[in-house]
Chains A and B, each alone.
Chain A
Protein backbone atom coordinates (compact mmCIF):
# COMPACT_ATOMS: atom_id res chain seq x y z
CA UNK A 1 0.00 0.00 0.00
CA UNK A 2 1.26 3.45 -0.92
CA UNK A 3 1.52 5.58 2.19
CA UNK A 4 1.00 9.29 1.99
CA UNK A 5 4.18 11.44 1.90
CA UNK A 6 2.57 13.45 4.67
CA UNK A 7 3.40 10.73 7.18
CA UNK A 8 6.91 10.60 5.88
CA UNK A 9 7.24 14.32 6.62
CA UNK A 10 5.83 13.77 10.10
CA UNK A 11 8.35 10.98 10.58
CA UNK A 12 11.29 13.19 9.62
CA UNK A 13 9.94 16.00 11.78
CA UNK A 14 9.90 13.46 14.62
CA UNK A 15 13.52 12.54 13.92
CA UNK A 16 14.44 16.22 14.00
CA UNK A 17 12.59 16.72 17.29
CA UNK A 18 14.31 13.71 18.83
CA UNK A 19 17.81 14.75 17.76
CA UNK A 20 17.10 18.27 18.96
CA UNK A 21 15.80 17.14 22.34
CA UNK A 22 18.87 14.95 22.86
CA UNK A 23 20.95 18.13 22.44
CA UNK A 24 23.67 16.33 20.55
CA UNK A 25 24.25 19.41 18.48
CA UNK A 26 23.72 22.92 19.75
CA UNK A 27 23.25 23.90 16.14
CA UNK A 28 20.06 21.89 15.82
CA UNK A 29 17.42 22.91 18.35
CA UNK A 30 14.27 20.77 18.63
CA UNK A 31 11.64 21.54 16.02
CA UNK A 32 9.13 22.47 18.67
CA UNK A 33 11.40 25.24 19.93
CA UNK A 34 11.44 26.81 16.49
CA UNK A 35 7.71 27.55 16.62
CA UNK A 36 8.26 30.51 18.88
CA UNK A 37 11.04 31.81 16.71
CA UNK A 38 8.58 32.28 13.85
CA UNK A 39 6.65 34.83 15.86
CA UNK A 40 9.87 36.59 16.84
CA UNK A 41 11.00 36.60 13.24
CA UNK A 42 7.83 38.18 11.91
CA UNK A 43 7.97 40.91 14.54
CA UNK A 44 11.39 42.05 13.43
CA UNK A 45 11.63 44.93 11.03
CA UNK A 46 14.96 43.52 9.85
CA UNK A 47 13.08 40.48 8.56
CA UNK A 48 10.62 42.57 6.59
CA UNK A 49 13.40 44.77 5.22
CA UNK A 50 15.19 41.65 4.07
CA UNK A 51 11.98 40.27 2.64
CA UNK A 52 11.28 43.40 0.60
CA UNK A 53 14.87 43.62 -0.57
CA UNK A 54 14.79 39.98 -1.63
CA UNK A 55 11.47 40.32 -3.42
CA UNK A 56 12.66 43.42 -5.23
CA UNK A 57 15.97 42.03 -6.43
CA UNK A 58 14.39 38.70 -7.31
CA UNK A 59 11.64 40.41 -9.30
CA UNK A 60 13.92 42.76 -11.18
CA UNK A 61 16.56 40.12 -11.92
CA UNK A 62 14.06 37.51 -13.05
CA UNK A 63 12.16 39.97 -15.25
CA UNK A 64 15.36 41.08 -16.91
CA UNK A 65 16.38 37.46 -17.49
CA UNK A 66 13.08 36.72 -19.19
CA UNK A 67 12.85 39.92 -21.19
CA UNK A 68 16.43 39.64 -22.45
CA UNK A 69 16.68 35.84 -22.55
CA UNK A 70 13.70 35.18 -24.80
CA UNK A 71 14.84 37.43 -27.69
CA UNK A 72 18.34 35.97 -27.50
CA UNK A 73 16.91 32.46 -27.55
CA UNK A 74 14.73 33.32 -30.54
CA UNK A 75 17.70 34.82 -32.35
CA UNK A 76 19.77 31.70 -31.71
CA UNK A 77 16.87 29.55 -32.86
CA UNK A 78 16.33 31.27 -36.18
CA UNK A 79 19.89 32.18 -37.08
CA UNK A 80 22.39 29.39 -37.17
CA UNK A 81 25.17 31.97 -37.15
CA UNK A 82 23.99 33.49 -33.89
CA UNK A 83 23.65 29.98 -32.54
CA UNK A 84 27.19 29.00 -33.49
CA UNK A 85 28.60 32.17 -31.98
CA UNK A 86 26.62 32.20 -28.73
CA UNK A 87 25.96 28.57 -27.89
CA UNK A 88 29.41 27.89 -26.41
CA UNK A 89 28.92 30.62 -23.87
CA UNK A 90 25.31 29.90 -23.07
CA UNK A 91 26.05 26.23 -22.49
CA UNK A 92 29.13 27.08 -20.43
CA UNK A 93 27.27 29.45 -18.13
CA UNK A 94 24.22 27.20 -17.97
CA UNK A 95 26.09 24.84 -15.68
CA UNK A 96 29.01 26.97 -14.50
CA UNK A 97 29.56 27.70 -10.80
CA UNK A 98 28.20 31.24 -11.03
CA UNK A 99 28.89 31.54 -7.31
CA UNK A 100 32.52 32.14 -8.17
CA UNK A 101 31.58 35.25 -10.13
CA UNK A 102 29.76 36.95 -7.24
CA UNK A 103 32.95 38.18 -5.52
CA UNK A 104 33.89 39.88 -8.77
CA UNK A 105 30.52 41.61 -8.98
CA UNK A 106 30.80 43.15 -5.53
CA UNK A 107 33.62 45.65 -6.21
CA UNK A 108 32.08 46.57 -9.56
CA UNK A 109 28.42 46.91 -8.60
CA UNK A 110 28.67 47.60 -4.89
CA UNK A 111 27.33 45.76 -1.91
CA UNK A 112 23.66 46.36 -2.56
CA UNK A 113 20.80 45.54 -4.86
CA UNK A 114 22.79 45.68 -8.10
CA UNK A 115 25.06 42.79 -7.19
CA UNK A 116 22.15 40.62 -6.11
CA UNK A 117 20.21 41.47 -9.26
CA UNK A 118 23.24 40.59 -11.38
CA UNK A 119 23.58 37.30 -9.51
CA UNK A 120 19.92 36.49 -10.11
CA UNK A 121 20.35 37.22 -13.82
CA UNK A 122 23.52 35.15 -14.09
CA UNK A 123 21.75 32.24 -12.41
CA UNK A 124 18.53 32.37 -14.38
CA UNK A 125 19.01 33.79 -17.87
CA UNK A 126 20.78 30.86 -19.52
CA UNK A 127 18.00 28.38 -19.11
CA UNK A 128 15.51 30.83 -20.62
CA UNK A 129 17.79 31.20 -23.64
CA UNK A 130 18.37 27.47 -24.06
CA UNK A 131 14.73 26.51 -23.74
CA UNK A 132 13.50 29.29 -26.00
CA UNK A 133 16.03 28.25 -28.60
CA UNK A 134 14.97 24.62 -28.31
CA UNK A 135 11.35 25.67 -28.79
CA UNK A 136 12.19 27.73 -31.84
CA UNK A 137 14.37 25.09 -33.51
CA UNK A 138 11.71 22.46 -32.98
CA UNK A 139 8.96 24.42 -34.66
CA UNK A 140 7.50 22.12 -37.27
CA UNK A 141 9.06 22.73 -40.66
CA UNK A 142 5.70 22.38 -42.31
CA UNK A 143 4.28 25.31 -40.33
CA UNK A 144 7.10 27.56 -41.46
CA UNK A 145 6.66 26.36 -45.03
CA UNK A 146 2.97 27.06 -44.72
CA UNK A 147 3.79 30.63 -43.79
CA UNK A 148 6.09 30.99 -46.76
CA UNK A 149 3.50 29.53 -49.11
CA UNK A 150 1.04 32.21 -48.07
CA UNK A 151 3.61 34.90 -48.66
CA UNK A 152 4.35 35.79 -45.03
CA UNK A 153 7.32 38.04 -44.51
CA UNK A 154 10.11 36.84 -42.24
CA UNK A 155 8.83 38.87 -39.33
CA UNK A 156 5.28 37.59 -39.78
CA UNK A 157 6.58 34.02 -39.76
CA UNK A 158 8.48 34.74 -36.56
CA UNK A 159 5.63 36.47 -34.74
CA UNK A 160 2.68 34.48 -36.05
CA UNK A 161 4.17 31.02 -36.26
CA UNK A 162 7.56 30.55 -34.61
CA UNK A 163 7.03 32.30 -31.29
CA UNK A 164 3.55 30.87 -30.58
CA UNK A 165 4.83 27.43 -31.52
CA UNK A 166 7.73 27.76 -29.13
CA UNK A 167 5.51 28.93 -26.29
CA UNK A 168 5.42 25.66 -24.29
CA UNK A 169 9.23 25.47 -24.23
CA UNK A 170 9.47 29.17 -23.41
CA UNK A 171 7.14 28.66 -20.45
CA UNK A 172 9.20 25.68 -19.28
CA UNK A 173 12.30 27.86 -19.56
CA UNK A 174 10.62 30.52 -17.46
CA UNK A 175 9.67 27.98 -14.81
CA UNK A 176 13.22 26.66 -14.61
CA UNK A 177 14.57 30.19 -14.51
CA UNK A 178 12.29 30.96 -11.56
CA UNK A 179 13.78 27.96 -9.73
CA UNK A 180 17.27 29.17 -10.47
CA UNK A 181 16.47 32.77 -9.64
CA UNK A 182 15.27 31.66 -6.21
CA UNK A 183 18.61 29.93 -5.70
CA UNK A 184 20.49 32.92 -7.11
CA UNK A 185 18.90 35.53 -4.90
CA UNK A 186 19.66 33.50 -1.76
CA UNK A 187 23.18 32.48 -2.77
CA UNK A 188 23.96 36.05 -3.79
CA UNK A 189 22.87 37.38 -0.42
CA UNK A 190 24.70 34.65 1.45
CA UNK A 191 27.99 35.30 -0.34
CA UNK A 192 27.67 39.02 0.26
CA UNK A 193 26.59 38.11 3.82
CA UNK A 194 25.67 41.66 4.75
CA UNK A 195 22.31 42.29 3.16
CA UNK A 196 18.89 40.69 2.95
CA UNK A 197 18.28 37.19 4.19
CA UNK A 198 21.99 36.45 3.76
CA UNK A 199 22.73 39.17 6.30
CA UNK A 200 20.14 37.74 8.70
CA UNK A 201 21.47 34.21 8.30
CA UNK A 202 25.01 35.27 9.15
CA UNK A 203 23.88 37.46 12.08
CA UNK A 204 21.79 34.68 13.61
CA UNK A 205 24.58 32.20 13.16
CA UNK A 206 27.25 34.39 14.69
CA UNK A 207 25.06 35.12 17.72
CA UNK A 208 23.97 31.48 17.91
CA UNK A 209 20.30 32.36 17.57
CA UNK A 210 19.71 28.91 16.16
CA UNK A 211 15.91 28.89 16.59
CA UNK A 212 15.64 32.00 14.46
CA UNK A 213 18.18 30.66 12.01
CA UNK A 214 16.13 27.53 11.40
CA UNK A 215 12.87 29.43 11.39
CA UNK A 216 14.30 31.62 8.65
CA UNK A 217 15.45 28.56 6.68
CA UNK A 218 11.93 27.17 6.88
CA UNK A 219 10.35 30.48 5.89
CA UNK A 220 12.62 30.83 2.88
CA UNK A 221 11.94 27.22 1.95
CA UNK A 222 8.18 27.74 2.11
CA UNK A 223 8.44 30.90 0.01
CA UNK A 224 10.55 29.17 -2.64
CA UNK A 225 8.24 26.17 -2.65
CA UNK A 226 5.18 28.39 -3.08
CA UNK A 227 6.65 30.43 -5.93
CA UNK A 228 7.83 27.33 -7.78
CA UNK A 229 4.47 25.65 -7.21
CA UNK A 230 2.63 28.67 -8.58
CA UNK A 231 4.75 28.77 -11.71
CA UNK A 232 4.20 25.06 -12.27
CA UNK A 233 0.47 25.62 -12.03
CA UNK A 234 0.70 28.45 -14.53
CA UNK A 235 2.73 26.27 -16.86
CA UNK A 236 0.08 23.56 -16.88
CA UNK A 237 -2.59 26.13 -17.69
CA UNK A 238 -0.84 28.04 -20.44
CA UNK A 239 0.79 25.19 -22.28
CA UNK A 240 -2.52 23.50 -23.10
CA UNK A 241 -1.64 22.96 -26.72
CA UNK A 242 1.84 21.57 -26.09
CA UNK A 243 0.61 18.02 -26.47
CA UNK A 244 -1.52 18.66 -29.51
CA UNK A 245 1.37 19.92 -31.61
Chain B
Protein backbone atom coordinates (compact mmCIF):
# COMPACT_ATOMS: atom_id res chain seq x y z
CA UNK B 1 0.00 0.00 0.00
CA UNK B 2 1.15 3.45 -0.84
CA UNK B 3 0.17 4.73 2.55
CA UNK B 4 1.98 2.03 4.43
CA UNK B 5 5.36 2.73 2.93
CA UNK B 6 7.69 4.07 5.54
CA UNK B 7 9.83 6.88 4.37
CA UNK B 8 13.41 6.19 5.22
CA UNK B 9 15.18 8.67 7.36
CA UNK B 10 18.48 6.97 7.88
CA UNK B 11 21.36 9.21 8.67
CA UNK B 12 24.06 6.64 8.69
CA UNK B 13 26.14 5.68 5.72
CA UNK B 14 24.76 3.16 3.29
CA UNK B 15 24.53 -0.24 4.89
CA UNK B 16 26.38 -1.75 2.00
CA UNK B 17 29.56 -0.30 3.41
CA UNK B 18 31.33 -1.62 6.45
CA UNK B 19 29.69 0.10 9.38
CA UNK B 20 31.75 3.11 10.26
CA UNK B 21 31.32 4.87 13.49
CA UNK B 22 31.56 8.64 13.29
CA UNK B 23 29.78 11.97 12.91
CA UNK B 24 27.03 12.27 10.31
CA UNK B 25 26.90 14.93 7.64
CA UNK B 26 24.09 17.37 8.14
CA UNK B 27 20.88 16.94 6.21
CA UNK B 28 20.59 20.68 5.63
CA UNK B 29 23.86 20.64 3.73
CA UNK B 30 22.47 18.06 1.32
CA UNK B 31 19.19 19.94 0.99
CA UNK B 32 21.06 23.03 -0.15
CA UNK B 33 23.15 20.99 -2.57
CA UNK B 34 19.99 19.36 -3.84
CA UNK B 35 18.22 22.63 -4.58
CA UNK B 36 21.37 24.09 -6.06
CA UNK B 37 21.86 21.09 -8.37
CA UNK B 38 18.30 21.09 -9.63
CA UNK B 39 18.31 24.82 -10.26
CA UNK B 40 21.67 24.58 -11.97
CA UNK B 41 20.48 21.81 -14.30
CA UNK B 42 17.32 23.79 -15.00
CA UNK B 43 19.37 26.89 -15.76
CA UNK B 44 21.69 25.03 -18.15
CA UNK B 45 18.82 23.21 -19.84
CA UNK B 46 16.94 26.47 -20.20
CA UNK B 47 19.92 28.23 -21.75
CA UNK B 48 20.56 25.45 -24.24
CA UNK B 49 18.24 25.56 -27.23
CA UNK B 50 15.78 22.88 -26.17
CA UNK B 51 12.83 25.14 -26.76
CA UNK B 52 12.00 28.79 -26.39
CA UNK B 53 9.10 27.61 -24.29
CA UNK B 54 11.53 26.36 -21.65
CA UNK B 55 13.07 29.38 -19.93
CA UNK B 56 16.10 29.05 -17.64
CA UNK B 57 15.64 29.10 -13.89
CA UNK B 58 16.96 32.63 -13.48
CA UNK B 59 14.31 34.07 -15.78
CA UNK B 60 11.56 32.17 -14.02
CA UNK B 61 12.89 33.32 -10.67
CA UNK B 62 12.84 36.96 -11.80
CA UNK B 63 9.34 36.53 -13.20
CA UNK B 64 8.30 35.02 -9.87
CA UNK B 65 9.55 38.08 -7.97
CA UNK B 66 7.99 40.39 -10.51
CA UNK B 67 4.63 38.67 -10.21
CA UNK B 68 4.72 38.89 -6.45
CA UNK B 69 5.51 42.59 -6.56
CA UNK B 70 3.08 43.45 -9.33
CA UNK B 71 0.23 41.80 -7.50
CA UNK B 72 -0.50 39.28 -10.24
CA UNK B 73 -0.15 36.42 -7.79
CA UNK B 74 -2.25 38.18 -5.18
CA UNK B 75 -5.02 38.72 -7.70
CA UNK B 76 -4.93 35.17 -9.02
CA UNK B 77 -4.76 33.54 -5.61
CA UNK B 78 -7.59 35.76 -4.37
CA UNK B 79 -9.66 33.97 -7.00
CA UNK B 80 -8.30 30.49 -6.39
CA UNK B 81 -7.77 30.22 -2.66
CA UNK B 82 -11.33 30.75 -1.33
CA UNK B 83 -12.88 27.92 -3.38
CA UNK B 84 -9.80 25.81 -2.71
CA UNK B 85 -10.14 26.24 1.04
CA UNK B 86 -13.87 25.58 1.02
CA UNK B 87 -13.37 22.58 -1.23
CA UNK B 88 -10.58 21.26 0.98
CA UNK B 89 -12.73 21.64 4.07
CA UNK B 90 -15.61 19.72 2.50
CA UNK B 91 -13.21 17.09 1.15
CA UNK B 92 -11.54 16.55 4.50
CA UNK B 93 -14.54 16.68 6.80
CA UNK B 94 -16.96 14.98 4.43
CA UNK B 95 -14.46 12.34 3.36
CA UNK B 96 -13.58 11.34 6.91
CA UNK B 97 -17.23 11.28 8.00
CA UNK B 98 -18.26 9.18 5.01
CA UNK B 99 -15.30 6.83 5.31
CA UNK B 100 -15.68 6.32 9.05
CA UNK B 101 -19.42 5.74 8.88
CA UNK B 102 -19.03 3.38 5.95
CA UNK B 103 -16.45 1.52 8.01
CA UNK B 104 -18.64 1.34 11.10
CA UNK B 105 -22.10 0.81 9.69
CA UNK B 106 -22.77 -2.28 7.63
CA UNK B 107 -25.66 -0.91 5.62
CA UNK B 108 -23.74 2.26 4.78
CA UNK B 109 -20.93 0.05 3.57
CA UNK B 110 -23.24 -1.82 1.22
CA UNK B 111 -24.75 1.42 0.01
CA UNK B 112 -21.70 3.60 -0.53
CA UNK B 113 -18.63 1.39 -1.07
CA UNK B 114 -19.30 0.48 -4.72
CA UNK B 115 -19.81 4.17 -5.48
CA UNK B 116 -16.52 5.10 -3.85
CA UNK B 117 -14.63 2.44 -5.76
CA UNK B 118 -16.21 3.56 -9.02
CA UNK B 119 -15.39 7.19 -8.29
CA UNK B 120 -11.79 6.28 -7.55
CA UNK B 121 -11.26 4.49 -10.84
CA UNK B 122 -13.59 6.30 -13.24
CA UNK B 123 -12.27 9.15 -15.40
CA UNK B 124 -13.88 11.73 -13.12
CA UNK B 125 -11.72 14.45 -14.63
CA UNK B 126 -13.74 14.10 -17.84
CA UNK B 127 -16.81 15.23 -15.93
CA UNK B 128 -15.23 18.54 -14.95
CA UNK B 129 -15.94 20.35 -18.23
CA UNK B 130 -19.57 19.31 -17.73
CA UNK B 131 -19.73 21.23 -14.47
CA UNK B 132 -19.94 24.59 -16.29
CA UNK B 133 -23.21 23.52 -17.81
CA UNK B 134 -24.59 22.90 -14.36
CA UNK B 135 -23.01 25.54 -12.15
CA UNK B 136 -21.77 28.04 -14.71
CA UNK B 137 -18.44 29.79 -14.40
CA UNK B 138 -18.50 30.02 -10.65
CA UNK B 139 -16.74 29.06 -7.48
CA UNK B 140 -19.28 26.29 -7.07
CA UNK B 141 -17.92 24.55 -10.15
CA UNK B 142 -14.42 24.70 -8.67
CA UNK B 143 -15.58 23.41 -5.32
CA UNK B 144 -17.45 20.52 -6.89
CA UNK B 145 -14.38 19.67 -8.99
CA UNK B 146 -12.23 19.63 -5.85
CA UNK B 147 -14.67 17.50 -3.93
CA UNK B 148 -15.22 14.86 -6.61
CA UNK B 149 -11.49 14.44 -7.11
CA UNK B 150 -10.45 14.55 -3.46
CA UNK B 151 -13.22 13.15 -1.33
CA UNK B 152 -13.32 9.52 -2.60
CA UNK B 153 -9.64 9.16 -1.70
CA UNK B 154 -10.18 10.44 1.83
CA UNK B 155 -13.27 8.32 2.32
CA UNK B 156 -11.72 5.12 0.97
CA UNK B 157 -8.64 5.45 3.15
CA UNK B 158 -10.62 6.26 6.26
CA UNK B 159 -12.74 3.21 5.52
CA UNK B 160 -9.66 1.00 5.11
CA UNK B 161 -8.22 2.41 8.32
CA UNK B 162 -11.36 1.52 10.25
CA UNK B 163 -11.42 -1.94 8.71
CA UNK B 164 -7.81 -2.63 9.59
CA UNK B 165 -8.29 -2.42 13.34
CA UNK B 166 -6.41 -5.28 14.96
CA UNK B 167 -9.06 -7.94 15.78
CA UNK B 168 -7.34 -8.89 19.04
CA UNK B 169 -7.70 -5.28 20.22
CA UNK B 170 -11.42 -5.51 19.46
CA UNK B 171 -11.61 -8.77 21.42
CA UNK B 172 -9.73 -7.14 24.28
CA UNK B 173 -12.20 -4.26 24.24
CA UNK B 174 -15.14 -6.63 24.19
CA UNK B 175 -13.71 -8.72 27.03
CA UNK B 176 -13.52 -5.59 29.17
CA UNK B 177 -17.18 -4.94 28.35
CA UNK B 178 -16.41 -1.61 26.74
CA UNK B 179 -19.36 0.18 25.20
CA UNK B 180 -19.52 0.58 21.43
CA UNK B 181 -18.80 4.30 21.78
CA UNK B 182 -15.78 3.66 23.94
CA UNK B 183 -14.50 1.01 21.58
CA UNK B 184 -14.80 3.42 18.68
CA UNK B 185 -13.14 6.30 20.49
CA UNK B 186 -10.35 4.43 22.25
CA UNK B 187 -9.65 1.50 19.93
CA UNK B 188 -10.94 1.89 16.41
CA UNK B 189 -10.26 5.55 15.64
CA UNK B 190 -6.73 5.63 17.08
CA UNK B 191 -5.73 2.57 15.10
CA UNK B 192 -7.22 4.08 11.94
CA UNK B 193 -5.40 7.36 12.47
CA UNK B 194 -2.37 6.58 10.25
CA UNK B 195 -4.52 5.48 7.31
CA UNK B 196 -6.89 8.40 7.72
CA UNK B 197 -4.04 10.87 7.56
CA UNK B 198 -2.53 9.08 4.58
CA UNK B 199 -5.93 9.46 2.94
CA UNK B 200 -6.04 13.14 3.85
CA UNK B 201 -2.71 13.67 2.12
CA UNK B 202 -3.97 11.86 -0.99
CA UNK B 203 -7.20 13.85 -0.81
CA UNK B 204 -5.41 17.17 -0.51
CA UNK B 205 -3.29 16.30 -3.48
CA UNK B 206 -6.46 15.34 -5.37
CA UNK B 207 -8.06 18.61 -4.35
CA UNK B 208 -5.19 20.60 -5.84
CA UNK B 209 -5.50 18.60 -9.05
CA UNK B 210 -9.21 19.42 -8.96
CA UNK B 211 -8.83 23.18 -8.66
CA UNK B 212 -6.13 23.32 -11.33
CA UNK B 213 -8.21 21.21 -13.70
CA UNK B 214 -11.29 23.31 -13.08
CA UNK B 215 -9.44 26.53 -13.71
CA UNK B 216 -7.70 25.20 -16.79
CA UNK B 217 -10.76 23.62 -18.35
CA UNK B 218 -13.82 25.60 -17.38
CA UNK B 219 -13.53 28.76 -15.39
CA UNK B 220 -10.78 30.93 -16.79
CA UNK B 221 -9.98 32.60 -13.51
CA UNK B 222 -7.35 32.41 -10.82
CA UNK B 223 -4.17 30.47 -11.07
CA UNK B 224 -5.27 28.25 -13.95
CA UNK B 225 -6.08 31.29 -16.01
CA UNK B 226 -2.72 32.85 -15.16
CA UNK B 227 -1.04 29.73 -16.57
CA UNK B 228 -3.20 29.62 -19.70
CA UNK B 229 -2.97 33.36 -20.33
CA UNK B 230 0.78 33.51 -20.05
CA UNK B 231 1.13 30.53 -22.35
CA UNK B 232 -1.16 32.27 -24.81
CA UNK B 233 0.94 35.46 -24.87
CA UNK B 234 4.13 33.34 -24.81
CA UNK B 235 5.38 34.72 -21.48
CA UNK B 236 6.77 31.31 -20.63
CA UNK B 237 8.81 32.63 -17.72
CA UNK B 238 5.63 33.83 -16.04
CA UNK B 239 3.84 30.61 -16.89
CA UNK B 240 6.57 28.56 -15.20
CA UNK B 241 6.64 30.91 -12.22
CA UNK B 242 2.91 30.37 -11.76
CA UNK B 243 3.28 26.59 -12.01
CA UNK B 244 6.12 26.66 -9.50
CA UNK B 245 3.98 28.71 -7.13
CA UNK B 246 1.08 26.24 -7.17
CA UNK B 247 3.44 23.25 -6.78
CA UNK B 248 5.09 25.00 -3.86
CA UNK B 249 1.76 25.78 -2.20
CA UNK B 250 0.62 22.19 -2.61
CA UNK B 251 3.90 20.95 -1.14
CA UNK B 252 3.63 23.41 1.73
CA UNK B 253 0.05 22.40 2.50
CA UNK B 254 1.06 18.74 2.63
CA UNK B 255 4.02 19.51 4.90
CA UNK B 256 1.72 21.48 7.20
CA UNK B 257 -0.56 18.46 7.25
CA UNK B 258 2.36 16.33 8.40
CA UNK B 259 3.28 18.83 11.10
CA UNK B 260 -0.35 18.90 12.19
CA UNK B 261 -0.46 15.11 12.37
CA UNK B 262 2.75 14.97 14.41
CA UNK B 263 1.40 17.63 16.72
CA UNK B 264 -1.93 15.85 17.13
CA UNK B 265 -0.41 12.41 17.54
CA UNK B 266 3.18 12.81 18.75
CA UNK B 267 5.30 9.90 17.57
CA UNK B 268 6.25 7.70 20.47
CA UNK B 269 10.00 7.57 20.85
CA UNK B 270 11.52 4.14 21.23
Give me the interface of A with B, judged by CB distance under 8 Å.
2-3, 5, 7-9, 11-12, 25, 27, 77-81, 83-89, 91-92, 95-104, 106-108, 127, 130-131, 133-134, 137-138, 141, 144, 148, 154, 157-158, 162, 169, 172, 176, 182-183, 186-187, 190-191, 193, 197-198, 201-202, 205, 213, 216-217, 220-221, 224-225, 228
Known: A95-B202, A107-B53, A134-B8. A88 touches B34 (CB 8 A): yes
Q: Which of B5, B211, B228, B231 contacts A131 (CB 8 A)?
A: B5
Q: Which residues of A contact B204 (CB under 8 A)?
A: 95
Q: Which residues of B contact A190 (CB under 8 A)?
A: 123, 125-126, 128-129, 213, 217
B263 interfacial contact with A, CB 8 Å: no
B31 interfacial contact with A, CB 8 Å: yes
Instruction: Specify the main secondary structure of chain B where it touches its partner.
Output: helix
Known: A99-B209, A134-B6. A225 touches B121 (CB 8 A): yes
Listed from nearest, the 7 A-B pairs whose CB atoms lie closest are: A84-B30, A107-B53, A95-B205, A97-B208, A137-B8, A221-B122, A85-B34
Q: Which residues of B contact A99 (CB under 8 A)?
A: 209, 212-213, 216
Count A-B pairs with CB separation below 8 Å. 178
| Distance, CA A134 to CA B14, complexed state (A) | 14
Q: Which residues of A contact B224 (CB under 8 A)?
A: 100
A-B contact pairs, 29 of them (CB 8 A): A2-B110, A8-B113, A8-B114, A11-B111, A78-B14, A79-B14, A80-B10, A83-B10, A85-B34, A95-B204, A97-B205, A97-B211, A100-B216, A100-B227, A103-B239, A108-B50, A137-B8, A144-B16, A158-B16, A169-B5, A176-B2, A186-B125, A191-B216, A197-B123, A213-B130, A217-B122, A220-B122, A221-B118, A221-B122
Tell me if B27 and A134 are in contact (CB < 8 A): no
Give me the interface of B with A, judged by CB distance under 8 Å.
1-2, 5-8, 10-16, 18, 27, 30-31, 33-35, 37-38, 50-51, 53-54, 106, 110-111, 113-115, 118, 121-123, 125-130, 133-134, 201-202, 204-205, 208-209, 211-213, 216-217, 223-224, 227-228, 231, 234, 236, 239-240, 243, 246-247, 250-251, 254
